[in-house]
Amino acid sequence: MIKITNLKAGIEGNLILNGINLEVKAGEVHAIMGPNGSGKSTLASVIAGKEDYEVQEGAIDFEEEDLLGLNPEERAHKGVFLSFQYPVEIPGISVSNFIKTSINERRKAKGMDPMPTPKMLKMMREKMELLSIKKGYLSRNMNEGFSGGEKKRNEIFQMAMLEPKLAILDETDSGLDIDALRIVANGVNKLRAKNNATIVITHYQRLLDYIVPDFVHVLHDGRIIKSGGKELAHELEEKGYDWITKDADKKWA
Amino acid sequence: MSAKKKQTEEQLLNEVTSSEYKYGFTTDIESDTIPKGLSEEVVRIISAKKNEPQWMLDYRLKAYKAWLTMEEPEWANINYNKPDYQDIIYYSAPKQKPVLDSLDDLDPEMKKMFDKLGISIDEQNKLANVAVDIVMDSVSVATSFKETLAEKGIIFCPISDAIQDHPELVKKYLGTVVPARDNFFSALNSAVFSDGSFCYIPKGVKCPMELSTYFRINEAGTGQFERTLLIADEGSQVSYLEGCTAPMRDENQLHAAVVELIAMDDADIKYSTVQNWYPGNTEGVGGVFNFVTKRGICHKNAKISWTQVETGSAITWKYPSCILKGDNSIGEFFSVAVTNNLQQADTGTKMIHLGKNTKSTIIAKGISAGKSNGNYRGLVKISKGATNSRNFSQCDSLLMGDKCGSHTFPYIEVKNNSSKVEHEATTSKIGEDQIFYCNQRGIGTEQAIALIVNGYCKDVLNQLPMEFAVEAKKLLEISLEGSVG
């Protein structure tokens, strides 16, 4: 689904990603772990097309199409979804209005008519149930006055509504208590399908107890220094990152 | 900032500056104008052309004499070359004055103009249930629904007709809320106003439809000085709308209107304006100078609510105000003021609390883009006798780009201990983070800005009648097309 080749990118001349290689196939869940400052969120932003980041080398192919040539909204229309680490407030715009606009803009890009309102409302109700979201939520303004947990749940709700091909969850677990984490993870699991893929970016192994990955990658200094199965996450939880990063530091020194 | 981003910004900026004023056409209608300049003679001519009674002429002459002694105000935070008052035509009327209520006889050119403006004075408005009075170059040319309204005893007509047909009402109320000497522009207006709308709602009557006046400047070199007088008698209710457009001309046109509202005991007036006078071109050439005095007085338990969406004019100087004279009366002011390119606005409100338990609410939203300058200026005055009064003010500014300016000048005077005044103010920029968030959800930058601006103005737009709200939203989008910061 997505193939990242030798990706080098940075901000204001500082290189943060030093040659990332990663392939995620349909139906797979990949976890990207790593210490602070290793480039996890940068990778997510570069895939989503945030303009602050400059790509200096490498390629990202999404379903065999060059993703880097597209602007952020075009990437979204193709099915790339980013669950933000810090979701943004949009005062005065209700959740329902925002999601409606979002869905219909994507449909417009595909030459489709807007989604009929009853259909959209039905879908919203279903997805709210899936994520144990209370009534009244749809008329609240986007992320305005939301708690940290509510913001994250709102991200996953949008993901559920937009049904992306590739979802990137950037630190979705941060700010969630254990109950909320379970609900969100449960939602993500229910949305897993053969034709979509998920990249889970996280600090802690905790989330991966609920969203079980097929592959785990360790990011350090903008490089993937180790990849493995789900057991790698447990190993990291036990031993920390040092045992891998030291070797990597020697190698790239 | 990356090179790509810079490029998009420049592109967007170009788009804003090239987005056209769609009402900038002129209409080829023969008109009856008098020579340029202002003198006692001109005031007499205007009065004579309208066949006015002596008391009206006296009123005008007194105002003219007062005006001669007054100075154009300079305290507003705006820069412009003062108009040459001897270089303006003070009276221009379309030669053919159509017969009221038989609009089929209308000059085809004029009819075409109404179509362009999107005002269909017959069918469309019957559906929308809006009665319209149209004032073109100072003269009211068409009033619809007169008969339906008359059944309820409602008078809705050009003020020049009211002077003839209802002199007792005009004489009693004209100049009582905005005296001729109130300010330089109100004195000028009182001397030379040639038309405008008059409205009277009898006791206990709820006006069954929205009343609307549409103002249009057409003739070159003319000033527009319309006068609106609206009286809501005890326990009555009315919702009134006004819209304004003008042709694109590279000279500045002067618009100095006066609006007076009288809300008797228990009456309720809602007055909405969508102001879209020609703002001038991107270099700041041309555009309307909009110097307007709007004020209402509330008697016991009465309510006046001003809502304005201001997107036009090169210069806007306007402070719709409420005098809360009666106990328990309520004043409201909801405003969105957009400035783009080189537009300047100094606008706000005055809430004068005189009665006990009076309440006022001010929600002012400024949006500045381009190289424009937007100012909020407001006064909340609570007199000694206005015990237990309340005011809540919220003044927000939204900036787009880094070449515009925004200022807030709140004045608060409280003379008793039992009243409460709250003032909140914020200044924000549309964040790149907000735009990226929308982009990531598949919403393009233009649409994202429209969404964010609409969200920002929601509290004000919600106050407008339905059809107007839709129009106002579109107008906001057009006014701000591409102005991303």
Q: How confident is the model at residue B442 (pLDDT cuts 50, 70, 90)?
A: very high
Q: Which helix (H) or strand (E) holds A173?
A: none
State residue B24's pLDDT score.
60
| pTM for this predicted structure | 0.80
CB within 8 Å: A73 and B452: no
State residue A248's pLDDT score.
83
**How many CB atoms neighbour CB A25 within 10 A?**
12
Q: Which positions ≥6 away from B206 have C-beta within 8 Å?
A: B236, B237
Contact B428, B398 (CB under 8 A): yes
- Chain A residues with CB within 8 Å of chain B CB: 48-52, 54, 71-73, 75-77, 81-82, 84, 87-93, 98, 101-103, 105-106, 109, 141-142, 158, 162
State residue B143's pLDDT score.
61
Q: Which positions ≥6 away from B365 have C-beta within 8 Å?
A: B335, B336, B337, B396, B397, B398, B456, B457, B459, B460
Q: Rounded CA gap, A164 and B357, in Å?
A: 56
How many Cβ pairs closer than 8 A exist between chain A and B?
A: 78
- Residue B455, min C-alpha distance to chain A (Å): 4
State residue B102's pLDDT score.
44
Q: How confident is the model at residue B281 (pLDDT cuts 50, 70, 90)?
A: confident
Residue B18 has pLDDT above 50, yes or no: no
Q: Rounded CA gap, B211 and B237, in Å?
A: 11
A135-186 pLDDT per residue, tens: 889 999 999 999 888 999 999 999 999 999 999 999 998 888 888 899 889 9
Closest CB to B443: pick one of A52, A73, A75. Answer: A73
Taking CA A16 as the corner, what is the angle to CA A10 and CA A22, rounded to the nearest 5 degrees? 100
Q: Is B442 on the interface with A (CB under 8 A)?
A: yes
Which residues does chain B have within 8 Å of residue A77's beta carbon, measured at their own beta carbons?
442
B262 backbone dihedrals φ, ψ, rounded to 5°: -125, 115
Q: Rounded CA gap, B141 and B135, in Å?
A: 6
State residue A120's pLDDT score.
93
Residue B299 has pLDDT above 60, yes or no: yes
ipTM for the complex shown: 0.96
B261 backbone dihedrals φ, ψ, rounded to 5°: -120, 135
Closest CB to A72: pick one of B434, B439, B456. Answer: B439
CA-derived radius of gyration, chain B:
22
Per-residue tokens: B471: 């129009």
Contact B136, B109 (CB under 8 A): no
Q: Rounded CA gap, B323 and B304, in Å?
A: 9
State residue B14's pLDDT score.
47
Tell which of B6, B367, B436, B446 to mutate to test the A interface (max A CBs under 10 Å). B436
Q: How confident is the model at residue B2 (pLDDT cuts 50, 70, 90)?
A: very low
Q: Which positions ≥6 away from A6 have C-beta within 8 Å?
A: A19, A20, A21, A57, A58, A59
Residue found under tokens 């699991």 = A189
Nearest of A126, A121, A118 to residue A99 by alpha carbon: A121
State residue A119's pLDDT score.
94
Residue with more model confidence, B132 or B326: B326
CA dihedral B463, B469, B475, B479 (to 10 degrees): 30
Contact A220, A35 (CB under 8 A): yes
Residue with more model confidence, B354 or B309: B354
Which of the 8 DSSP states describes residue A85?
S
Q: Is B455 on the interface with A (CB under 8 A)?
A: yes
B172-185 pLDDT per residue, tens: 999 999 999 999 99
CA dihedral B427, B432, B438, B444 (to 10 degrees): 110
**Least confident range of A135-149, B3-17, B195-209:** B3-17
For residue A126, which amino acid is it? E
CB within 8 Å: A50 and B431: no
**How many CB atoms neighbour CB A52 within 10 A?**
15
Residue B123 has pLDDT above 70, yes or no: no
Instruction: From residue B465, give the alpha-carbon distance in Å to each of B123, B273, B276.
Output: 19, 11, 17
Q: Is B416 on the interface with A (CB under 8 A)?
A: no
Which of the 8 DSSP states describes residue A133?
P
B29 backbone dihedrals φ, ψ, rounded to 5°: -120, 135
Contact A164, A81 (CB under 8 A): yes
Residue with more model confidence, B31 or B159: B159
Per-residue tokens: B60: 């005008």
Per-residue tokens: A86: 């810090």
Q: Rounded CA gap, B368 and B338, in Å?
A: 6
Per-residue tokens: A188: 């993500």
Q: Rounded CA gap, A156 and B141, in Å?
A: 58
CB within 8 Å: A109 and B442: yes
Provide the total of helices (H) and of strands (E) in chain B, helices listed first. 12, 23
State residue B122's pLDDT score.
47
Domain boundaries, chain A: 2-252
Closest CB to B436: pick one of A50, A93, A109. Answer: A50
Residue with more model confidence, A166 or B156: A166
Q: Give strand pairing partners of B413.
A: B381
Q: Is B452 on the interface with A (CB under 8 A)?
A: yes
Tell which of A71, A73, A85, A112 to mutate to test the B interface (max B CBs under 10 Å). A73
Residue with more model confidence, A222 or B222: A222
Nearest of B31, B44, B221, B241 to residue B139 by alpha carbon: B31
Residue with more model confidence, B313 or B309: B309
Q: Rounded CA gap, B223 and B46, in Å?
A: 13
Per-residue tokens: B406: 């925004």
CB within 8 Å: A92 and B433: no
Residue found under tokens 């005031």 = B43
Which of the 8 DSSP states describes residue B222?
B
Q: Which CATH number fits domain A2-252: 3.40.440.10, 3.40.50.300, 3.30.365.10, 3.30.70.260?
A: 3.40.50.300
Tell which of A41, A45, A51 to mutate to test the B interface (max B CBs under 10 Å). A51
Q: Which positions ≥6 away from B180 have C-beta within 8 Å?
A: B59, B62, B63, B66, B186, B187, B190, B191
Query: What's chain A's average pLDDT?
Result: 93
Of the ranges A111-125, B99-113, B249-263, which is most confident?
A111-125
What three-state secondary structure class fits B155? strand
State residue A5's pLDDT score.
96
Residue with more model confidence, B19 or A92: A92
- Tens-of-pLDDT digits for all 253 residues of chain A? 999 999 999 998 899 999 999 999 999 999 999 888 899 999 999 999 998 999 999 999 999 999 999 999 999 999 999 999 999 999 989 999 999 999 999 999 999 999 999 999 999 999 999 898 988 899 999 999 998 889 999 999 999 999 999 999 999 988 888 888 998 899 899 999 999 999 999 988 889 999 999 999 999 999 999 999 999 998 988 888 888 888 888 887 7
CB within 8 Å: A76 and B436: no
CB neighbour class for A7 (10 Å; exposed up to 12, middle 13-18, buried from 19) = buried
Residue B98 has pLDDT above 90, yes or no: no
Provide the total of helices (H) and of strands (E) in chain A, helices listed first. 9, 12
Residue B101 has pLDDT above 50, yes or no: no
What three-state secondary structure class fits B432? helix
Residue with more model confidence, B76 or B484: B76
Closest CB to A76: pick one of B431, B442, B456. Answer: B442
